[in-house]
Amino acid sequence: MIIGSISENKEIEKRISITPDIAKKYIANGFQILLEVGYGSHLGISDNQFLNQGCKIEKKENILKQSDVVLQLNLPEEKNLEFFQENKILIGSFNSSQNLEKIAKFKSKKISIFSLELLPRITRAQSMDILSSQANLAGYKAVVDSFAEFKKAIPMMMTAAGTISAAKVLVIGAGVAGLQAIATAKRMGAIVFATDVRTASKEQVESLGGKFLVVEGSENLETEGGYAKEASEEFKKKQENLLAETLKKTDIVICTALIPGKKAPLIINEKMIEDMQTGSVIYDLAASQGGNAAYTKVDEIVEKNGVTILGEKNILNKLPVSASNLYAKNLFNFILNLYDKKNNKININLEDEIINKTLVK
């Protein structure tokens, strides 16, 4: 059973799907590993490090022709489709709801495609949950970058010359990224507030030392799968009023609110930004899906009324080694769930909820 992976377009994606440590685990489980020349060189991982673990280094065309399973982050470019053999398997994070046409071309060659952002939120799938592992890092890095942009100290400091007040941070969306943002900001000495449409988030926020902003008469807007769902117009209005007042006193805002498969909800409008303090910073982690804040532009630093707004298409490119380590482990656990070791084959058992939900139909 051969597993292969080719280099991503490094201009948009610096993470890799197989690391030397994980390659060793695959080989210990009976797999062969094929990787492209220079696969991890941009991360300081030489081809020799993979060879020492028992991998083989091949040309891209040979990898795609020989591999039973191909592991990637993004969909391979269409020009590579000719090298794929029928009845093979492609696994990654392919934003399946937005890439239906591209995916259809791969499926036309009878390639089974698994997209791991579709994983169900169940206990058995936690070790494969790429959204959680990557969002953890994104929440951490958004705080670090925001603090670097902020022109003041973060923690309260008492000196002989006077006292410096602690920075006030607001985290919008208390999912995995938001909770990590809260924890990181709190560790660095900030006063942290958070808001989320899911009422269950309150306890989590408070356990990390944050203060949860409650919208009066709020309803629980959480799907059975644990994600946020669209709020009613009445709720949005109440949330808007609460945020408007909070933002006037906030130094740094971390936006993390996303609805899977949909445009990100606009939460911070132009008027709110106008009323914020000069020198404030907004980091919009939802930038690639339209942004939670007005004026957000992907991969640009925007300044409006003295407020700096940041948003990157792929913040994980700033932490590619850590992100690759976690992503590779997620994929390895997913493969073990698919693999029938006794018969040395991939078993697409549609009665398994994990397999059924992630298979792009």
- 320-338 and 130-149 are packed helices; what angle lies between their axes, rounded to 10 degrees? 170
d(CA 240, CA 273): 12
As beta bridge partners, residue 33 has 3
Give the DSSP letter string of 11-42.
Answer: TT----S--HHHHHHHHHTT-EEEEETTTTGG
The pLDDT score that the predictor gives to residue 252 is 98
The parts of the chain modelled with pLDDT lower than 50 are none
User: Catalytic site residues?
Assistant: 121, 126, 129, 132, 227
C-alpha torsion sign, points 283, 221, 247, 208: negative
C-alpha torsion sign, points 259, 136, 320, 169: positive
Reduce the DSSP state of residue 24 to 3 states and report it: helix
The pLDDT score that the predictor gives to residue 359 is 97
In angstroms, how far is CA 15 from the centroid of its own chain? 12
Reduce the DSSP state of residue 216 to 3 states and report it: coil
The pLDDT score that the predictor gives to residue 237 is 82
* 208: its two tokens: 């990390």
The pLDDT score that the predictor gives to residue 165 is 96
For the segment 116-161, what is each residue's pLDDT rounded down to a tens digit? 999 999 999 999 999 999 999 999 999 999 999 999 999 999 999 9
- Catalogue all structural domains in the chain, each as residue range(s) with its CATH number: 2-118+320-358 (3.40.50.720), 135-317 (3.40.50.720)
d(CA 33, CA 53): 10
Looking at residue 317, what DSSP letter applies? G
Give the predicted TM-score (pTM) of the model.
Answer: 0.91
The pLDDT score that the predictor gives to residue 222 is 58
